[in-house]
Amino acid sequence: MSQAAQAISADSEFDRDTSVSLRAPGVYDADLSEGWAILSAVNGGYLLAIVARALRDALPHPDPFTVTAHYLTPSKPGPAVVRTETVRTGRSLATGQASLFQYEPDGTEVERVRVMAAYGSLDSLGDDVRTLVKPPVLPPPERCLGTEDGPAAFPDDSGFSRRVTVRLDPATAGWAIGAPSGKGEMRGWFSLADGREPDPLSLLLTVDAFPPTAFDLGLKGWTPTVELTTHIRGLPAPGPLRVFVTTRNLAGGYLEEDADVWDSADRLVAQARQLARAPRETRVPGAR
């Protein structure tokens, strides 16, 4: 890690709260902060950043290229342990696996999330960027809506909503006043509230930080993630990120969410897809 990155790290709540400490080869202690919970559940992207930080230490390459997480049981604030396995080490890519466990009162470990990932060096990839799509148009941040603008963009005044700055395009925020667009979209600006600039680890948080697209479909309630895969496609430039989340297929009680993340230099830096259970209820929070 560069000295500059370390200097940023010491000041960042995100970096402090995702830190891991080596207990034994491949085994890392962590502490899930209640600061990143929504209601009583620890945010899935925050969990992923912790596991990815452990894998970054365990593997010979620094950056997550593709990370798949299966969410097994709900995580709670408190101590955790990440156990990593180096599956394969190659010249340009290394494959790893990791599980985050928490403890029962008797000390038994319970697996919360299992992750499979390939790491490489984004810095070494060079500049042959031929992205075929352009970032969709988004109103400037001051014309977008945050939690302070009336009906909560998040379902509660959670620790999570104080640590991330999400400003929603008004076109995808109608659900907050009972008028969802029905298109299954969430678009907006993202940055960490502590001012830390984005990097591959924080992008893993960004892709799962927006309100569920189900709200924009007129559904309310929890949308638990079954599986989330994120491709980190470039080192993000400093500055706010633009996030575009869409759902195209809601069927049989499940839906996919596709999240594209664009940096301030108009690079598509992350592409994520998750399979989630659709909420059972049909009214959005805040709707009268």
Q: Which residues bind its own copies (CB under 8 A)?
A: 65-66, 68, 70, 72-73, 87-88, 93, 95, 97, 111, 114, 116, 118, 122, 125-133, 183-184, 217, 226-227, 229, 231, 233-234, 247-254, 256, 267-268, 271, 273, 275
Encoded amino acid at 147, one letter: T
For the bound state, the minimum distance from the C-beta of residue 31 to its own copies, rounded and expressed in Å, comes to 24
For the bound state, the minimum distance from the C-beta of residue 210 to its own copies, rounded and expressed in Å, comes to 17
For the bound state, the minimum distance from the C-beta of residue 242 to its own copies, rounded and expressed in Å, comes to 15
Residue 51 tokens, joined:
């596991």
Cα three-residue angle 274-279-280, rounded to 5 degrees: 145
Residue 120 tokens, joined:
């490489």
Distance from C-alpha of 247 to C-alpha of 227, rounded to nearest angstrom? 15
- End-to-end, the C-alpha distance of the chain in Å comes to 50
Distance from C-alpha of 277 to C-alpha of 163, rounded to nearest angstrom? 26
Question: In terms of CB distance, is 99 or 158 closer to its own copies?
Answer: 99
Give the residue from 236, 244, 245 showing the smallest Cα distance to 264. Answer: 236
Supply the DSSP symbol for 6.
Answer: H
Question: In terms of CB distance, is 11 or 123 closer to its own copies?
Answer: 123
For the bound state, the minimum distance from the C-beta of residue 163 to its own copies, rounded and expressed in Å, comes to 28
Question: In terms of CB distance, is 15 or 63 closer to its own copies?
Answer: 63
Residue 228 tokens, joined:
């989330």
For the bound state, the minimum distance from the C-beta of residue 215 to its own copies, rounded and expressed in Å, comes to 14
For the bound state, the minimum distance from the C-beta of residue 262 to its own copies, rounded and expressed in Å, comes to 11
Question: In terms of CB distance, is 27 or 125 closer to its own copies?
Answer: 125
Q: Which residues contact 193 (CB under 8 A, 6 or more apart)?
A: 13, 162, 163, 164, 165
Question: In terms of CB distance, is 192 or 214 closer to its own copies?
Answer: 214
Question: In terms of CB distance, is 8 or 81 closer to its own copies?
Answer: 81
For the bound state, the minimum distance from the C-beta of residue 268 to its own copies, rounded and expressed in Å, comes to 5
E strand intervals along 109-161: 109-120
Question: In terms of CB distance, is 53 or 112 closer to its own copies?
Answer: 112
Q: Which residues contact 108 (CB under 8 A, 6 or more apart)?
A: none
Distance from C-alpha of 277 to C-alpha of 254, rounded to nearest angstrom? 4
